[in-house]
Structure 1
């Protein structure tokens, strides 16, 4: 099976970065459609394993999955290409917004086209849940595991509930599900060496422990890098979970006002790509040091650096572990739980925020039909559904 070059990885993720609305769960749906369903570059089990791994890691899970896909295709250059393509479109838009924040009308953020993008996320996630359930939950036992995982995370919302569901499913798989067949990992994929892994993990902990000491010098750029590096390294759950931590890091010390912080958060909902690009806005709008686009890029690099170091540090060991038959049995349970987590996220917040009327439901069903039956590319469905949302808003308000 042919691997992609770094340039090919960049082009694919640039398209995704320009069209992937709907948050991290929707992003996982876009990735699966592009690399598992359409291009056949990853097996379903390998993709689910990568998703499961990134659920355990701190930082932005969907971005880490994208970086992991890039690494698997073309090494470090592929990981960087995937990150640049997926991240830079929204980062650039938010940096520009930081320059003109006072000119933005709030109605622009709340208009119908944005709601249409939430509706298309319903279709994308529904397609991902359905496709993954067919392959990862083929029997009644694993279907029950996925449903129980969904119920559990509803009962115990938050990162701790998700991790507990995954860990419990792993134990169930280890003792109750047998994987007698040999591992079907994508052996053609690139994975870092153990030497690279050791260097990455060492650098991760050196920066995590050393940057706070260097920040005591009062040098503004180091203080910025330290704050955003810790935000990327210590927050579990990604997405909206990082917002309280970022508020504590930049609003409480007075680096940026609360109104500006909330205005940027609103704009971050209106752009494609990962929510962690909110850091680019904060870096551009803050008043500590290096404000403007330089500060935006500095904070963007800082918050994503832990993701690269963790993936390069863990992927080689993960690739070896998943070949073990006992680990494979545990992964059967984990993958079923991942389907349950996606199902729970599909219900809330994807459906709860996207389907607010019968017209929204019809629009979501139309988008699902275009994706699942007509096999239209996701970027085109995103555009059509966003237009549909604007039309509904115009006629019905």
Structure 2
């Protein structure tokens, strides 16, 4: 458990760049370096989490922890990956923004954003080589990227994934597999708990109201952290000044880890008599629906993928996921990180060191933190 927690904690400290970058970091560390699972198993997990409501990259991390050590491993992975952003958002809600806007801190953040460009680029290249080996899957990937770049609407991602599943189901050619697929037995208790908590009335007050608002928001969010803003605004923004709400959203994009850590900031603001409890309840509530649905399918997903029809559909979805990562590589990852020639040079150097020379991720983290800090001090 401790190994799982510490590895995800390290990633939680440096994983800037949003869900696409997180998927790249997870693949680099747990598939290529630690070899906890193979590429096909990882792709199946990513495909499943793209279709479920909730924070997609955090669900992938939760699934990786579950794959490694069951439910306790899943909880350890979630705690490690979320803890840094939770602490940062809670501290900023309680004590202001002075430290977060210090020049040295901004330089460190800029460097880690550049590293996120490198990691996402590496993930796109690696996953394209693995999952885009047919003309159809290449087409799905590139068409998905084109459409998402031109029409970056929240519903578009889910629509394209669904269409890719249909196209894969009928047109993807998979290698023959004579083995009989394993029996599938879904876990019903997480699904029952998911539904029961979804029926919690929105009335009431105090921590119960905070839990209900954030749980139902987490159960309805498809398409990643950016979609959570309008839903939370309609449910909880009335309890605080609108400028405070928008400040929390902006901060959530500037800290590492999942954007759903915005819940920690909002929970602390909403329950000022005991802000730590407010932050904890809001954070657990917004992540819980997605994690319960992961538990419904996770232990049986590999068995389902062995079935020819579902396997072909997942092959189409994997192509769409590559396109999704490709579009995210440009917006928001590249656009938010690269504005100057030396930054582009750093990205190219990082791709060389990571993909060709196979430098450990920790070495790259130190390099990408040191260079922007040196530029700040020299300039």
TM-score, normalising length: structure 1: 0.88
Q: Retained in 2: the 8 A contact 1:192–1:315?
A: no
Q: Retained in 2: the 8 A contact 1:17–1:85?
A: yes
Task: List runs of 5+ in structure 1 lacking aligned partners.
Answer: 1-5
The Cα offsets for residues 84-105 of structure 1, whole Å up to 9 and x where unpaired, read as 0101121112212222116457
| 1:105–1:173 CA distance, 2 compared to 1 (3 A) | closer
1:284 aligns with 2:288: no
Aligned to 2:317: 334
Equivalent-residue separation in structure 2 for 1:315 and 1:306 (angstroms) = 14
- Cα distance, 1:50 vs structure 2: 1.1
Name the stretch that deviates more: 304-313 or 241-250: 241-250
- Correspondence for 1:363 among 346, 361, 364: 346
Q: Retained in 1: the 8 A contact 2:17–2:332?
A: no
Equivalent-residue separation in structure 2 for 1:36 and 1:137 (angstroms) = 18
The Cα offsets for residues 272-302 of structure 1, whole Å up to 9 and x where unpaired, read as 2111111112111224x65321211111111
Task: List runs of 5+ in structure 2 lacking aligned partners.
Answer: none
The Cα offsets for residues 16-43 of structure 1, whole Å up to 9 and x where unpaired, read as 1122121111000000001111122212
1:38 aligns with 2:33: yes
| 1:158–1:82 CA distance, 2 compared to 1 (3 A) | same
Q: Retained in 2: the 8 A contact 1:29–1:124?
A: yes
- Cα distance, 1:324 vs structure 2: 0.3
Equivalent-residue separation in structure 1 for 2:269 and 2:184 (angstroms) = 37
The Cα offsets for residues 282-330 of structure 1, whole Å up to 9 and x where unpaired, read as 111224x653212111111111111221111122443332110121122
1:257 aligns with 2:252: no
Q: Retained in 2: the 8 A contact 1:59–1:234?
A: yes
Aligned to 2:222: 236
Aligned to 1:156: 151
RMSD: 2.4
| 1:70–1:350 CA distance, 2 compared to 1 (3 A) | same
| 1:161–1:320 CA distance, 2 compared to 1 (3 A) | same
Equivalent-residue separation in structure 2 for 1:104 and 1:167 (angstroms) = 43
1:54 aligns with 2:69: no
- Cα distance, 1:393 vs structure 2: 4.6
Aligned to 2:307: 324
- Correspondence for 1:111 among 106, 114, 122: 106
- Cα distance, 1:155 vs structure 2: 3.2
Aligned to 2:83: 88
| 1:183–1:128 CA distance, 2 compared to 1 (3 A) | farther
- Correspondence for 2:327 among 320, 344, 359: 344
- Cα distance, 1:364 vs structure 2: 0.9
Equivalent-residue separation in structure 2 for 1:116 and 1:237 (angstroms) = 27
Aligned to 1:267: 251
Equivalent-residue separation in structure 2 for 1:144 and 1:104 (angstroms) = 46
Equivalent-residue separation in structure 1 for 2:104 and 2:242 (angstroms) = 18
1:205 aligns with 2:189: no
Q: Retained in 2: the 8 A contact 1:111–1:393?
A: no
